[in-house]
Amino acid sequence: MSLARRIYAKRDDLIALTQSLIRIPTLNPPGRNYHDVCALLDTRLKSHGFSTEMIRAHGTPGDSDIFPRWNLVARREGATKGDCVHFNSHHDVVEVGQGWTRDPFGAEIDGDKVYGRGACDMKGGLAASIIAAEAFIEEHPDFAGAVEISATADEESGGYGGVAYLAEQGFFDPARVQHVIIPEPLNKDRICLGHRGGWWAEIETKGEIAHGSMPFLGDCAVRHMGAVLDQFETQLYPAMAARHTQMPVVPDGARQSTMNINSIHGGQPEQSDDYTGLPAHCVPDSCRIVIDRRFLVEENLEEVRGEVVALLEDLKANRDKFEYEMRELNVVLPSMTDKSAPVVETVHAAIESVLGVAPTYVASPGSYDQKHIDRIGKLRNCIAYGPGELELAHKPDEWVGITDMLDSAKVMGHALGTLLLPK
């Protein structure tokens, strides 16, 4: 039997596996049922000849005895020495949200679609990679090197209890793993080379409280923040809009530097909806915003941070009584794998051969676990490739296409053949 036919023969198995993964609600936050989903995969992969490890990311954000951060790593050695190809999928899913017409954890099938939270992002991709690996091993039991499959926690909340933890433990050391494919839903004919960086910070302007009838006796922190926002509008946004990247980011609007103002709070805290009283008359002595700045491989973090600090320092020098504090909340550095990297060239050729189309290169506007494999693991031969339409991720009535899963499994199997069969 050819590998492609062997994968197609596993269609029912692929559907059943996808369904059983969706039916375990691995909601993050808070991080439910991580042990159950890892245990299911542990049993399955052991029965297919993999040696497995269940790893709890003790002490990482969110880890507790009620919501432990469990991960699974499975490895199957080949007959001779060679490279190791690793498929990494996150097993957590985001909240359900409103607007569903299907049971979010029912894994209903309708035509060519399997519905459910996480179907597309990314339990369908996880199932496809498992089917691809199992079929490849059955077809070529004499393969060289090793195949690894991991199912990891917390990608949706930064990956610290998942891939970052495993990378710190050496699981993505280039001496151990040489090629990584992350089956995120990027569409079956696209190769995702990496993602932009992110810098999150809180800025607070300071004022002085006074009676609202005599604001001149105080100092309004909200007006100071207005001046900050004005600097952003007149200086920062035009400067960012002029900066374009060579990264193939989709959609087009994300092919430049961007910044979201995530929140603004100033003055008295808002009362609950059932409070019927009126506000007291006070001049606000504090106003805070949270900014979410996404940056390009062509920019560096010091410049990104420095350009905001320069605007704030300029106000401090030129605006009466302007005082501020800035607290950095989080940083993610951009990651971009070279188009000539072996895993990119291999998957490129596999897509052409299996699907008969030329693949498109993309990069992600937000980040995913590649950052940890790159920055902590120091492994630069990593891409995201998997079934599912990116636009469906995190939406109501999320689904994954059965044909798409089969096609991408064939591409993954083909890539395994290129990387692990003696030439």
Residues lying near Zn ion in the complex (CB under 5 A) are found at 121-122, 184
Nearest approach in angstroms of CB 261 to Zn ion is: 25
Contact by Cβ (8 Å): 145, 82 = yes
Scan for tokens 């926690």, then name that residue. Answer: 153
Assign residue 137 a region (left: φ > 0; alpha: ψ between -120 and 50; beta: otherwise).
alpha
Nearest CB to Zn ion, comparing residues 121 and 389: 121
Residue among 19 and 88 whose Cβ is closer to Zn ion:
88
Strand partners, 292: 200, 260
Closer of 122 and 354 to Zn ion (Cβ): 122
Smallest separation, CB 315 to Zn ion (Å) = 39
When the beta carbons of 35 and 91 are compared against Zn ion, the nearer one is: 91
To Zn ion, the closest distance from the beta carbon of 156 in angstroms equals: 7
Residue 324 or residue 399: which is nearer to Zn ion going by CB?
A: 399
Q: How far is the CB of 397 from Zn ion (least distance, A)?
A: 17
For 43, the 3-state DSSP assignment is helix
Matching residue, tokens 């790593």: 73
Q: Are 16 and 9 within 8 A, CB to CB? A: no
In 3-state terms the chain splits into helix, strand, coil percentages (rounded to 5) of 35, 25, 40
Report the distance separating Cα 312 and Cα 316, nearest Å.
6
| Nearer Cβ to Zn ion (63/154) | 154
| Residue 113, token pair as written in the block | 């679609």
Closest distance of CB 176 from Zn ion, Å: 24
Per DSSP, what are the bridge partners of residue 110? 113
Q: Which residue has the tokens 């199912």?
A: 151
Q: Which residue number, 23 or 394, has a Cβ lying nearer to Zn ion? A: 394
Is the CB of 219 or the CB of 398 nearer to Zn ion? 398
DSSP string, 107-118: --EETTEEESTT
Q: Which is nearer to Zn ion, 125 or 267 (CB)?
A: 125
Q: Which is nearer to Zn ion, 93 or 287 (CB)?
A: 93
C-beta nearest to Zn ion: residue: 121
Q: Is 310 left (phi over 0), alpha (psi -120 to 50) or beta?
A: alpha
Do the beta carbons of residue 347 and residue 415 sit within 8 Å?
Answer: yes
Minimal distance in Å, beta carbon 157 to Zn ion? 11
Q: How far is the CB of 380 from Zn ion (least distance, A)?
A: 21
Minimum CB distance to Zn ion, residue 92 (Å): 9
Give the shortest CB-142-to-Zn ion separation in angstroms.
34
Residue type, position 236, single letter: L
What Rg value do the Cα atoms of the chain yield, rounded? 25
**Beta strands in 183-312, from DSSP E residues, in sequence order:** 190-195, 197-206, 258-266, 286-295
Tell the smallest beta-carbon distance from residue 226 to Zn ion (Å): 38
- Secondary structure (3-state) at 400: strand
Going by C-alpha positions, the residue among 169, 317, 282, 287 that lies closest to residue 222 is 287
Give every CB contact of residue 13 below 8 A, 6+ residues apart in sequence: 131
